Structure 1
Amino acid sequence: MSTRERSAIVAVGRARPPWTALLLLGVPVLVALLGPLIRPTGEAPSAEGAMPSQPPGDGHPLGTDVLGRDMLWLVLHGGVSVLGSTLGALLVGMVVGVPLGLLAAGPRRGLDETVMRGLDLLLAFPGLLVLMTLAATGHRDWYWLVLVAGVLQAPAVARLVRSAALDPGTRTVVEALRMQGRGWAYIHLRHVARELAAPVATDAGGRFAVVLYLLASANFLGLGLSASSPDWAVLIERNRAALFSQPAAVLVPAGLLTALCVGGNLLVDHTLARKRRKG
């Protein structure tokens, strides 16, 4: 083993945990998961006589929003919809994109062209414009937003899966298994799926920020959740006029969304860098 290889192994072994990424990602995730337990849903979000857009004070550590509701209660309950909708859209994208990618990677050239050209057409549409058009047709419910946002991720996921499935190393083993008489299910579910797990998981980590940005933008524009929702993006939109009189109503949810997005990206970057060093 050369000196360079030994140095690389030592560097990997001594690699520091990504504390910055874990902190940025962990804070909003913990707020989203533990918030409803800290302030149960049964409690009133506003106290009697509370004034709208009041700065932090007694009884309201983060002040009140434009409707006189307690901002701390809203922030603690607003992360559930953010995480739930983002993860839901990611799941839809994987469920649609992975099978299409495997289908395109099959031996039939005509089927490959049909699937990929159809996905290219979908890829050409701007995501936010699609969601705005959907809302204009009356489909403004949150589940429509999550479903369509997930379908919009399918072309990129399918391209990744197709590329990984067509890798020369993967194709060699697939051809060998076919010559042994193995069926489609055995080849793709036991071998190809194992080869795709790492790139798909890595892509999902980076795509999380893309979906989060898309859904937050849609909710900010009032396309998904109702105006009374405690969702962090909705809180920013509802309280933006009171930014200077009650900055906590805008900066706290905006900071949590930013930390969630940046922390996720940093963690993915660290994971990829560590994988490259190991390789």
Structure 2
Amino acid sequence: MTVPEKRDTVGAKRRRMPWIALVLLGVPVLAALLGPWVAGDAAPGEGALPSQPPGAGHLLGTDVLGRDVLALVLQGGASVVGSALAALSVGMAAGVPLGLLAAGPRRGLDETVMRALDVLLAFPGLLVLMTLAATGHRERFWLVTVAGLLQVPAVARLVRGAALAPGSRTVVEALRMQGHGWAYIHLRHLARELAAPLATDAGGRFSLVLYLLASANFLGLGLPASSPDWAVLIERNSDALFTQPAAVLVPAALLTALCVGGNLLVDRALAHRRTRS
């Protein structure tokens, strides 16, 4: 194969990748957005037996409690995507201001902020969630808030590093000499400079948050066992994997597609930025 042919093959693969990523990401996202509107009643019907394989009455069979798996899957996507987005928003909302604060002209403040974040960074995520569950805080609010706060150190470090880049510092010093205040410099100039790296990081960080929340729910540290959340469904029906695999494989496939599709889109965005720069 000649060099031009190899380039054409690589280019064709790159052109196909966004469509693959969009399909992988689009299916679980559409299920999360539209599922609650079209899902039927998941409660066990008359004569419904636990862990029944797919059939005429239940297209994906029933779970260990006799509930309709298809209805549960359609209802559980909103919990997965909504919780991950909420936790990501918490991490961004707290991490961006702290990163800008650390990148300011006061060296002592930089050290204080970053060393405090290093302490938070040292705590394993699942260990923190285990402690949270042991104290009885299993509500979605606590799960999302703590998962979001665990992302703050990484987000703050990214913002601080981008704000302290030589190019950014030169412009910032010039703006200071012109008499512009903190709000103008940080909210107008640096906000534009940080938009691209933050958007790229958010795409990859969404998968990390999703993995953390799904792991917590799978281990029984998060939502109650009656929740239709996809990770909870996997955990509840894992013992019936060989008798009713759809109750485990369908939500697992949706979680996998959500993570893989998001990562492929982020990789594509990074490759596009490299080719443009």
TM-score by length of 1: 0.93
Check if 1:19 corresponds to 2:19.
yes
The structural deviation recorded for 1:17 is: 5.9
Q: Which residue of 2 aligns with 1:115?
A: 113
Corresponding position of 1:277: 275
Q: CA-to-partner distance for each residue in 1:172-216, whole Å, 9 max, x for gaps?
A: 111111111111111100101110000011000000110000000
1:74 counterpart residue number: 72
In the other structure, the counterpart of 2:225 is 227
Q: Which amino acid aligns with 1:259?
A: A
Q: What 5-or-longer segments of structure 1 have no aligned partner?
A: 1-6
How many angstroms apart in 2 are the aligned matches of 1:48 and 1:33? 29
Change in CA separation of 1:171 and 1:146 when aligned onto 2, cut-off 3 Å: same
Counterpart of 2:4 in structure 1 is none
| Secondary structure in 1 matching 2:79 | helix
- Contact kept? 1:45, 1:74, Cα under 8 Å: no
Letter in 2 for 1:261: C
**Structure 2 portions without partners, runs of 5+:** 1-6
Letter in 1 for 2:207: A
Question: 1:35: which partner in 2?
Answer: 35
**Deviations 1:86-139 (CA, angstroms, capped at 9, x unpaired):** 000000000110000000000011110010011111101100000101111121
CA distance in 2 between partners of 1:161 and 1:226 (Å): 36
Letter paired with 2:145: L
User: What amino acid sits opposite 2:27 in the alignment?
Assistant: V
Matches within 5 A, 1:30-179: 30-39=30-39, 43-179=41-177
Q: Which residue of 1 aligns with 2:262?
A: 264
Q: Secondary structure at the match of 2:93?
A: helix
Q: Structure 1 residue 238: deviation in Å?
A: 0.3
CA offset at residue 156 of structure 1? 0.1
Amino acid at match of 1:203: D
Kindly indicate whether the alpha-carbon contact (under 8 Å) linking 1:24 and 1:263 is maintained by their aligned counterparts in 2: yes
Partner SS for 2:100 = helix
Distance 2:137 2:61 in 1: 34
Read off the aligned partner of 2:35 and give its amino acid letter.
G
Displacement of 1:44 in angstroms is 4.8
Offset of residue 52 of structure 1: 0.4
Provide the C-alpha distance between the structure 2 equivalents of 1:261 and 1:47, rounded to a whole number of angstroms.
33
Root mean square deviation of aligned Cα: 1.5
The percent identity for this pair of structures is 79
Q: CA deviation at 1:223?
A: 1.4
What's the TM-score once normalised by structure 2's chain length? 0.93
Q: State the aligned residue count.
A: 267
Select 2:195's aligned residue among 197, 209, 224. Answer: 197
1:45 Cα offset (Å): 3.2
For 1:89, give the aligned amino acid.
A
Which residue number in structure 2 is paired with residue 243 of structure 1?
Answer: 241
CA distance change for structure 1 residues 15 and 277 in 2, over 3 Å: closer, same or farther? farther
Which range is displaced more, 169-178 or 156-165? Answer: 169-178
Contact 1:217-1:233 within 8 A present in 2 as well:
yes
Looking at structure 1, the residues matched to 36 and 260 of structure 2 have their Cα atoms a distance apart, in angstroms, of 24
Per-residue displacement from partner, 1:25-71 (whole Å, max 9, x unpaired)?
Answer: 1111111111112125xx35332110000000011000000000000
